[in-house]
Amino acid sequence: MKSADTIIVNASVFDGTGADPVLADVLVRDGRIAAVGNSLPHSDIGDAQLVDGTGATLIPGLIDGHAHLGFGSTTDHLSDRREAVEERTLLIAHAGEVLLNSGFTSAYSGGNRLPAAEVAARKAFSEGWLPGPRLRACSWEGSVGMLEPGKYSFPGVDDRAPDPDGVSRFVHEMADLGVDIVKLSLSGESAVVQGTSRVLQFTESEVAAAGTAARERGVWLTAHAHSAEAIKLAVRHGVRAIYHATFADSEAIDALAAARDRVFVAPTPGIIWAHLHDQAHPPEPGMEVTETAASVKVVAAELKARGVRLVPGGDYGFAFNPIGLNARDLRLFVEWFGFTPAEALRAATQYGGQLMGMPDSLGLIRPGYLADLLLVEGDPLDDIGVLTDRDNISMIMRDGRLHKLDTGRRAQQHALSR
Catalogue all structural domains in the chain, each as residue range(s) with its CATH number.
6-60+363-416 (2.30.40.10), 62-355 (3.20.20.140)
HSE-CB at 31 with a 13 A cutoff on CA atoms is 10
Q: Are 348 and 312 in contact (CB under 8 A)?
A: yes
- Distance from chain centroid for Cα 79: 21
Q: Are 179 and 206 in contact (CB under 8 A)?
A: no
Q: Are 249 and 272 in contact (CB under 8 A)?
A: no
Q: Is 262 exposed, middle or buried (0-12, 13-18, 19+ CB in 10 A)?
A: exposed
pLDDT for residue 411: 79
Averaged in consecutive runs of 10 residues, what is the pLDDT profile of the chain (418 residues)? 84 97 96 90 76 97 97 94 94 98 98 96 97 97 68 84 93 97 95 93 96 98 98 98 98 98 98 93 91 98 98 96 98 98 98 98 98 97 97 98 95 55
Dihedral sign of CA atoms 137, 196, 193, 311 in order:
negative
- Measured CA to CA, the distance from residue 272 to residue 191 in angstroms comes to 10
**Which DSSP letter does residue 413 get?**
G
Helices (H), 55-132: 85-101, 115-127
Give the closest residue to 304 by CA, choosing from 272, 269, 278: 269
Phi and psi torsions of 7, nearest 5°: -130, 130
pLDDT for residue 146: 55
- Measured CA to CA, the distance from residue 355 to residue 310 in angstroms comes to 10
Phi and psi torsions of 265, nearest 5°: -125, 130
Q: In Å, what is the CA distance from 147 to each residue of 140, 142, 163, 200?
A: 10, 7, 13, 16
- Distance from chain centroid for Cα 49: 30
**Which DSSP letter does residue 240 get?**
S
